[in-house]
Amino acid sequence: MTTPTLFAWVGGAAALSRWFRIFYQRVALDPVLGPVFANAPQDHAEHVAAFVGEVFGGPPVHSQTLGGHPAMIAKHVGRALGEPERRRWMTLLLDCADEAGIPDDPECRSAVVAYLEWGSRLAVINSKPGAEVQGDQPMPKWGWGETGGPFHQ
């Protein structure tokens, strides 16, 4: 028996799409995050779902059609995100995971939260004014208990 990817375990593209659609609907009404995403394109939730899906071991949709990790990094440059926005993003995203039916078993949630923590902290670092951003980083890969950021490849 082979171990499923996180992508398969969470329910694939449909589950990730549902999760991020719910999340960005809530973001629009959120006093902390609403202003941050006020100008996000209509298809932002689908782009993020494709990115996370690829990170979790799904098909390389984001890399092949949306620019992969360099494009995601570029979205954060100069946005001056701080800890209040990061924490709110984490809290709201995890609340929406429950509503979207993302599995809540300890192993899955541990891996998902580890990636979200890593990614959200990286977004804050890359968003600081004057940050030196390395835009050519490979797509992170995340699995069951092992990190897969660019520093571990």
pLDDT digits (tens, 9 = 90+) for 97-150: 999 999 999 999 999 999 999 999 989 988 888 878 776 778 889 988 766 655
pLDDT tens for 70-102 read: 778 877 877 789 999 999 999 999 999 999 999
Q: What is the pLDDT of residue 69?
A: 77
Strands (E), 5-142: none
Tell me how crowded residue 7 is: count the other CB atoms within 10 A of its CB.
Answer: 21
67: left (phi over 0), alpha (psi -120 to 50) or beta: left
Place of tokens 């100069």: 78
Distances, alpha carbon 95 to alpha carbons 106, 113, 151, in Å = 15, 12, 29
Quick one: tokens of 8? 């398969």
Q: pTM of the full predicted structure?
A: 0.90
Which CATH number applies to 6-152? 1.10.490.10
For the segment 39-77, what is each residue's pLDDT rounded down to a tens digit? Answer: 888 999 999 999 999 999 999 999 899 877 777 887 787
Domain ranges in the chain are 6-152
| Listed residue (60, 153, 51, 49) closest to 102, CA to CA | 49
